[in-house]
Structure 1
């Protein structure tokens, strides 16, 4: 049975190019992950705030190296795209920003991020999310980006708003965290916002 619409983006849109480094224009770089980032990611995941709002724990640097390998493979498979957020020079890790659940045919992806404890309060997540959103919507041609966070995570709500993501509603009891089920805010940006 044929579809009545064509895919928003064809398969291969991402895989046909190397993952780019993106400049926020205000002092941050989003670059592909390197194996050498593993110790910094492991250290970031020892932070209690990361444990509160994320589903994974990092028990060893070697485990994080495996994650980085998966993140690199995910680009080629076009299932997700993950960037290290760093200062110019590219060595000091400040956080991560990502497109998850990429559906090229529908033109949709989910934005996710975290920052290191030392980077919080400096606008790092909002600046990185804004740059990634511009690239995904304007340069690549996705139609819609979604951003989900626990309603209780007020910091993530501020990041979403500063990044131009409009609050669309609340998904009740839809996010399982270590302390139980959380209501989740759904924010979104669409091309042309």
Structure 2
């Protein structure tokens, strides 16, 4: 599709979809790899956790639905809309999830999202995964990475701050959670700043 831009896109169309989704390694030795159908049980079980449910209102209800999500994740990569990774150890045990959604190649922006399973919390899994994904994305040509979270989610705020995502402000009443509307913190990491 022809672009009606007066400037070149930040990332060339096809620059990601032309290659398989990468497997990334964190500084702490964790792996970020694409989700596999065999991961469906652990992914579904994650949404039974109270903390994950508190901050994520879009939830799968069956393993079949999870596998449909995984197929949609593969299409996201092929269509350069997003990337979704399982965060694992070398033993391939899943510790969490991280994603880069809403990819905009024209402006070079995307949004990070993550969760961590209960047994892996407090061990640097989220911050390690976010740091590795952010370094990769900025290296690929993205200019600005955003993430938002409920102002009540202190753990997510700490992860964002630890990874250099600057708190830019509050989006008032921007998201619906099970207990009602929440204000959301907006953080961003900008290349070279």
TM-score range, shorter chain: over 0.9
What is aligned with 1:157? 157
TM score, norm. by length of structure 1: 0.96
What is aligned with 1:65? 67
Counterpart Cα distance in 2 of 1:52 and 1:32 = 25
TM score, norm. by length of structure 2: 0.96
What is aligned with 2:172? 172
Counterpart Cα distance in 1 of 2:107 and 2:15 = 13
Query: In the TM superposition, what is the alpha-carbon distance from 1:35 to its structure 2 partner?
Result: 0.8
What is aligned with 1:27? 29
Q: Please, which runs of 5 or more residues in structure 2 have no aligned partner?
A: none
What is aligned with 1:148? 148
- RMSD of Structure 2 on Structure 1 (CA): 1.2
Query: In the TM superposition, what is the alpha-carbon distance from 1:58 to its structure 2 partner?
Result: 2.3
Query: In the TM superposition, what is the alpha-carbon distance from 1:161 to its structure 2 partner?
Result: 0.6
What is aligned with 2:122? 121
What is aligned with 1:98? 99
- How many residue pairs were aligned? 191
User: Hey, which bits of structure 1, 4+ residues long, moved more than 3 A?
Assistant: none
1:7-60 Cα deviation digits (max 9, x unpaired): 111211110110010011212000111111101101111101111100222211
Q: Please, which runs of 5 or more residues in structure 1 have no aligned partner?
A: none
Picking from 74, 77, 90, the partner of 1:75 is 77
What is aligned with 1:189? 189
Question: Quick one: structure 1 residues 2 and 92, their matched pair in 2 at CA, closer, same or farther if it must change by over 3 Å?
Answer: closer
